[in-house]
Chain A
Amino acid sequence: MTRICHDQEGTLRPHPRQLVAWLCALTLGCLISGSQAMAAGSAPRPQVLLLKSAGMARYDQVETAFRAQITAQCEKQPRCPGVTTATVGNKSDTGIASPALVVAVGHKAAIAARSSYSELPQLHVMVSRVEYRERPRASALSVIYLEQPPLRLLRFTRYLLPDHRRIGVLLSPGSPWRTEIEDAESDDNDDYLNIRELDSGREAGRAIRTMKQQIDVLLALPDPLIYNRNTLGAILLTTFRNHIPVVGFSKGVVNAGAVAAVFSSPRTIGEEAGTRALALLAGARPALQYPDRFEAAINRRVASAMHLDLPSDEEIAAWKDAP
C-alpha cells in the first residue's frame, strides 16, 4: 500500500522512502531497457546499396523517393536498413563489403549490378522488360519493369473512353506484346482488338488510314520499331486528322499529342522500389513483375480539340487508386 504524505501547503507528495524506491526502480528499468536497446542495436542493420545510372535527374528523383519510402515504412519496423548510394562509373569505394540487397536504378546500373554483384540479391528498377525476356539464372533477382501491364492499358482505355470499344494496336513482327495483349483481351473481353503488324513505323500512317473505319482508338504500346522519334510525329498527325485518339505509354507521348497515358514516373518507381526492397529484406520471394504504382496523364487540349469528354483529374485519380 502506498503511503502518501501531505506537505505543509497541503499538496500531495510521496514518502521519502517511497521516493528512493521509485528512483531505484526507475534506474533498474532504464538499465534493462537500455540493455535491450543495445542488444537490438548490436545486431547489424541490413545494408542496401542503391546503384544509380549516371547523368540524369530521374535517377536522383528515384533515390529521393526511395529513401523517403524506406524512412516512412521503417517507422513500423524494428530493423530499418541503411541505404548507401553509388553511381555507375564512379570508382570510389561504396564502403559496403556485402550489402543485403543491391537496388539498381536504370539500364546501365542494372548491367553493372549484374557484373559486379552477381552473387548478391538484386532488385532492378527503371528497366525495360525487353531486357529480361529470358529469365535470368540468378534466382535472387527481382525486377520492376518500366512497362505497364497490357490489361491495365486496356482497362484504362476503356475507362477513359467507354464509347471507343474498338481498339487498334500497331506492332512490329515478333513483338512480345502480341501474346500478352491478346491474353489481356481474353481476360477483359469487352474490348475488340484490331492488331496490325508493320515492318516499320513508316507504314503506320497508311495502316491507320486503312484501319480508321475499324477502330475507335489507337493503343500505342512501347514498340520502338513502330513508335520512335522519327515516326511518332506522323502517326499522331494521322490519328488526329482521322479523329482517332491515342492512348500511350509515357508522359512524353502525351506531351507529344496523345490523349492520355499510364506510366511509371521516377516518384512511383522510387516508392515502389522502397516497398519492394523492404519486402525482399523481410524474406519475400524474388519476382519479375510489372509495376503496381503508376501515374496517369491527360492531354486535355488534344481531348478538347477532338471533342472527347474525359473524366476529371479527381475521377482519374480515384480510378487509379481503386484496387
Chain B
Amino acid sequence: MRALPSRRACSGIIPSLALLLPLQVSAQQPSGAAALTEDYFLGDIPVVLSASRLAQPVSESPASMTVIDRDMIEASGAIDIPDVLRLVPGFQVSHISGQNQTAQYHGLANQHPKRMQVLIDGRSVYHSAFGGVHWDTLPVTLDDIERIEVLRGSNASTYGSNAFMGVINIITRKAVQDRGTSVSVLTGYNGTREATLRFGDRVGALDYRITLNGFATDGFPNYRNTHTYWDSTGVIAPASVATGTALAPETTLFELARNDSQQIGRFNFRGDWLLGNGDLVLFELGYTHNDRDNILDNGSYEFNRPDENLRSSSELVKWSRQLPGDRGEISVQASHNRFRFDGLRTDFLIDDLDTGATLFNFGPVLGGSRLRNDRYDLELQHTVKLPGSWRTAWGAGIRVDRVSGRNFTTGDQTVSRWQYRVFANTEKYLDDNEQWVLNAGLMLEHQQELGNFSSPRLALNWRLDGFNTLRIAVSRAFRMPSFWEARGENRLYALDPSSYLAPGIPPYDYLLYTSNAKGPDPERLDTFELGLVSIEQLQGLSFDVRYFREWLRDYIDEVRYKNACTGCDGSAVAGIASHDLLIHDNAGSMDLHGFDLQGRYRINDRTTLHGAASIVWSRGQRVKEKDAAGNVIKTADIGDYVPERTLSALLSHRFDRNWSGSIAYYRMSKMNWPNDGDRLEPYDRIDLRLARKFDLGSGRDAQIELIGQNVRNQEYSEFRHDNQFERRLYLRMRLALP
C-alpha cells in the first residue's frame, strides 16, 4: 500500500497552482497546429502577483518587488514574520517591547506603522482602528508561509488607500503541501518557548490543514535607562538627577527587572476544495489570543502597567473559476476580521491617582482601553485578455470598518466607515519584439465622510537587452486617517507636576487625546520611480536598483494645543485648571529620495548570497505645538524619522545533504522613531544558523536548528532606549510524520 505524501516541504508545487506563466500556449490551440514557442520549454522567470494582480515576470512588474521564498525564510533563521522583513531593502524592523514589533518601509513608523498594507492570501489585515498591523496577533506561523512578496513603494492603484508606502503580501502554503503531521518546538532566550502542531489531510475533494501554535516569551529581561532622564515611558529615575538633564549615551542610570511577557495561542485552518468542474474554493479561518503582562520591579517597588489582552479572529472564502475560451478567470472573495483589545489602563490610572502617591505609567498604547474593530470585505475580480492584447485585472469591492469600545471615541460611540472601490490594472506589449511593456492602473474609491479618491499609476518597462530592463513609473496614493486619528478621544487624566507631584515624578502634564470636528485630511503621496532590473545571467547574479522620489503631503501627526482644553475634560481631580489637547492634524510634509538595491548571487549550487541596501535622503517639518487659537508655537524637523542607510546580507550554504548553515548581517543608521519611540544610534547585528536534517525512514524526517541572533552580543536599542537587544540563542526542532 502506498504511503500518502507527507507534509514535508515541496515548494515547487506552489507555482504550479498559482503562477503558471511559463507555458505560454493557449489551451484552445489544436496540437497539430500549435506554434510552440521557446517560452513553452524555457519559461522559468520568477513571477509576482502583488504588483498589479497580474502574474508577471519581475522584469515586467510596474513596481519594485522583493520576493522572500521558502528557502530564504528557512535560511534566515527567523523566529517570527517581522524578522524576515529585515532582509528587504529599506525596511526597519524593531521590537516595540518584548511583546510586539513594528516594521515599516522607509521609516515614519511608530508602534502602529500605518503607511503599509499587509495582506494574507489577499485578505487585508490592516487595522482601521489605529492603523498598521499587530504582528503578534496574525494567525499564521512561519511554517505556514510559502513566500512573501514585498512591494516597495506605493501601490494604491492595486490595493487601494493605505497601500501607501509599501505592500506585504503573505502567501500561505497550499493545504495539499502539508499532508501528514508535523511538530515543531523552539526554546531559547529569556523564557521563549514555542510549540506548533500542524496536520494536513484530505476529505473527498477538500485538502485541509490545521495549525495549532503556542508561543510565550518573557520579552526583554530588564529595563535599562541609558540615555535621558525622562524617557517616553515615564519611569522614575534617581532623585539625584535633575529633571530634564540630558545624559551621555550609554550611561546606565538604573536597571529594573522587567516582565513584558506574553502568551500567544494561535489556530488557523486552510481548506482547498477542488470542485469537479475545475473551480477552486479556498477557506481560511484564524484565531489568535495574546495575553500581555507588564511589570517593572526594582526590588522595592513594583510599577504595574496594565495587562493587555488581544483577541483576533478572521474568516475568508474565495471562489475562483477559469472561464472557457479566452474569457479569463473570475474570483469572488469575502472576508471578515475582528480585533479586540482589552487594556485596563485608564481604570488603573484613575484609581491610583486617587491615592496621590503611586507612580504610574501610561503604557505604550495611545488609547482605547477596550475596543472591538471589525472589517467586512467583499471583492470581485476578473482577469482577462482584452482585444488589443491588453491583459487586464479589473474588479470592484465594498468594505465596512467598524470600531466600538470604551475610551476610544467621544461618548464611546460606535463608528463605522463604508468604502466602495473599482479598480483596473492592465498590461500591454507595445511592440512586436516585446521590448516595451506598458502598465497602467487606477483605483477609484469612495470613502464615507472623506470623499472620493483616485489613485493612478503609469509604468513603462523597456527591455534594454535580454538581461536588463529599465522601468519608469509615476503614481499617486492616499492614506485614510485611522479611526483613532479621525475620531479618537481618550481621556487620560494626569496631574500638573509643578503643583502636585513630588520631585522625581514623571512630568506628565496632559493628556486629552481628541479629534477636531473635521478630522485630518488623508495623507497624499506622489511617487516617481526609476528602476533597473537585471535578471540572472550565466554567472548567477541578479539584482535590481530603484531610484525614487516621494512627496508626502498632509502628513498626519499629533499636534499639541497648549492649554486649549479648559474644564473640558470632566475630571474630578482637584487642582487642574486647564489641559493641553493632543489632536491628530495635517501637521506637515516630507520629501524623500534615494536608492534601493537588492541582489542575489548564486555562487554555486550550494551557496547563495542575498544582499539588500537602501540609502534615503529625507527632509520635512511638522507642527509640534499650537496655542489655543491655533497659532503655531513650535515646529520640529522630521527628516530623521527615516534612517539614511539600511543594509542586510544573507549568505546561505548547504554543506551536504543534511547539514546547512547561514550567516546574516544587518545594519541600520541612526533614526528617530516617531511619537512613542526614541532617537536611536546606529547598530550592527550578525545572526547565525546551523541546521542538521535527519532522515528517519518511512517518510519521517527531523531537523534540529541552532539559531543565534546578535551573536557578537553588541547590545543595541530597538525602538526605545530601554529595549536593549542582546545576544539571543534558540534551539528549534522539527519532526515530520507521514
Contacts and interface: CB of A to CB of B under 8 A. Distances in A.
Interface of A: 53-61, 64-65, 88-89, 106-107, 126-128, 130-131, 146-147, 172-176, 200-202, 205, 222-234, 236-237, 240-241, 243, 249-258, 263-267, 299, 301-302, 304-307, 312-313
A302 B10 contact: yes
B466 interface: yes
Interface in B35-83: 35-38, 40-44
Interface string B443-455: 0000000000000
Nearest to B468: A57
Contact of A305 (B8, B23, B34, B537): B8
Contact of B23 (A54, A252, A254): A252
Contacts of B399: none
Contact of B16 (A54, A176, A256): A256
Contact of B10 (A228, A243, A304): A304
A249 B23 CA distance: 11
Given A55-B463, A241-B202, A305 B38 contact: no
B357 interface: no
Contact of B466 (A59, A227, A307, A313): A59
A174 B23 contact: no
Interface string B588-610: 00000000000000000100000
A61 B18 CA distance: 28
B432 A89 contact: yes
In order of increasing CB-CB distance, the 8 nearest A-B pairs are: A252-B22, A256-B16, A60-B466, A224-B25, A128-B36, A57-B466, A54-B433, A257-B13
Contact of B44 (A223, A236, A251, A299): A251
Contacts of A267: 538
Q: Could you say which of A60, A146, A302 has the most chain B C-beta atoms within 10 Å of its C-beta?
A: A302
A61 B41 contact: no
A299 to B, nearest CB: 4
Given A128-B36, A225-B31, A307 B22 contact: no
A301 B8 contact: yes
Contacts of B44: 250-252, 255
Q: How large is the interface on B (under 10, 10 to 19, 20 to 34, 35 or more residues)?
A: 35 or more
B38 A107 contact: yes
B222 interface: no
Given A55-B433, A236-B16, A243-B4, A229 B34 contact: no
Contacts of A225: 27, 29-31, 34
Contacts of B278: 202, 205, 234
B172 interface: no
Given A225-B31, A240-B176, A307 B6 contact: yes
B389 interface: no
B23 A224 contact: yes
Interface string B670-684: 000000000000000
Contacts of A54: 433-435
Contact of B36 (A222, A229, A231, A266): A222
A309 B278 CA distance: 32
Interface of B: 2-18, 20-27, 29-32, 34-38, 40-44, 176-177, 179, 202, 207, 274, 278, 322, 432-435, 463, 465-467, 535-538, 605, 657, 699, 701, 738
A313 B44 CA distance: 21
Contacts of A305: 5-10, 177, 179
A66 B463 CA distance: 22
B479 to A, nearest CB: 36
Given A240-B5, A250-B22, A251-B44, 17 more contacts: A58-B38, A60-B465, A128-B40, A174-B30, A226-B31, A232-B16, A236-B17, A237-B274, A240-B10, A250-B40, A256-B20, A265-B42, A302-B12, A305-B7, A305-B9, A306-B5, A307-B699
Given A55-B435, A254-B12, A237 B176 contact: yes
Contacts of B25: 224, 228-229
Contacts of A202: 27, 278
B325 to A, nearest CB: 11
A57 B535 contact: yes
Contacts of B701: 304
A229 B21 contact: yes
A237 B278 CA distance: 12
Contacts of B11: 301
A226 B3 CA distance: 28
Nearest to A254: B12
Contacts of A64: 537-538
B23 A65 contact: no
